[in-house]
Structure formats: structure tokens, C-alpha cells
Structure 1
Amino acid sequence: MNASHASSGYELRFRPLFADRRAYAFPCDAAGHVDMDSLGERALNNYLYARAMMGHELSWPDVISSLPH
């Protein structure tokens, strides 16, 4: 993960549209850009899956602050 994404304090969160599904969250910058090169193989596969399932199984993502308030 590059330093700008690691220290940005944001995550891109995909929420499930159905109760029996899981949510996905990935580190991102304030604009919601995920550094795909910094993700491990499993995280990258999950990220690509989440993007493909937007509107089908998952909501459009939100950029959420991951820093404590």
C-alpha cells in the first residue's frame, strides 16, 4: 500500500443489499480511489468482485473515514 492510501484514513465501503450477504471495505483516498497495486491477491479479487456486484448484491460504495472521532 502506498503511503498516501495508508495514511489517508478513508475506506471505500460496499454494503450488502441483502441481509445474508457480507460487506466489503478497502483502503482508499478521500476521493474513493483504491490503489489496486497495493492490494494482496485475495483483497484484489474481493475488490473486483465488489465492483462487479454493485447494484446486484452490493450497494454503490461510500467513502467512509476510518479514523476515530
Structure 2
Amino acid sequence: MPAKTCEAQHYELRFRSLHNEGRGLSFPCDERGEVPLDQLSERAVMNYLYARACIGIEYAYPAIMLSDHLH
């Protein structure tokens, strides 16, 4: 029987830039794509709100991805 892991999975909401490859934005989120705004810096909140406002203009619709970062 395989051992169960207790590691929680970490997700991020990624906004891919429509004009500059590799210049997207990402924010920590839960598995539903909900970003904990109260845990972000003021600058990160402003970037998140900007990315949401610019979907289809500057950024593609966001995707919920497993985070590449170790926590």
C-alpha cells in the first residue's frame, strides 16, 4: 500500500501576457483560484487588480496552476 503524503498542494493564478512572452503575472491562490488579497503586499494587490481589469487587452484569462515554488 503506497504511503500517503501530507504535503499540501500550493496553487497560483497565472495571467499570461498577450504581448510579451514570459511577462505574465502570478499570484498565490487556492484550488478554486481565489487569491487571498489580505495576505498580499499593496503592490501585489494593485498588480492583481490591474491584471483582472486588463483581461483580453494585456493579459489572457488566468489559469489555476500548481505552484512551481517550494513552500
Q: Give TM class, smaller chain.
A: 0.7 to 0.9
Tell me which protein shows more helix as a share of its residues: 1
Q: Does 1:65 align with 2:66?
A: yes
Q: In structure 1, the residue corresponding to 2:60 is in which secondary structure?
A: coil
Tell me, which stretches of 5 or more residues in structure 2 are unaligned? 1-7
With normalisation by structure 1, the TM-score equals 0.80
Q: In structure 1, the residue corresponding to 2:61 is in which secondary structure?
A: coil
Number of residue-to-residue matches in the alignment: 62
Q: In structure 2, the residue corresponding to 1:57 is in which secondary structure?
A: coil
Distance, in Å, in 1 between the alignment partners of 2:51 and 2:22 is 12
With normalisation by structure 2, the TM-score equals 0.78
Distance, in Å, in 2 between the alignment partners of 1:51 and 1:14 is 8
Q: Highest CA radius of gyration, 1 or 2?
A: 2
Alignment root-mean-square deviation, CA:
2.0
Q: In structure 2, the residue corresponding to 1:26 is in which secondary structure?
A: strand
* 1:19 CA displacement: 2.4
Partner of 1:51: 52
Tell me, which stretches of 5 or more residues in structure 1 are unaligned? 1-6
Mapping of 1:1-69 within 5 angstroms? 8-19=9-20, 22-67=23-68
Ranges of 4+ aligned residues in structure 1 off by more than 4 Å: none
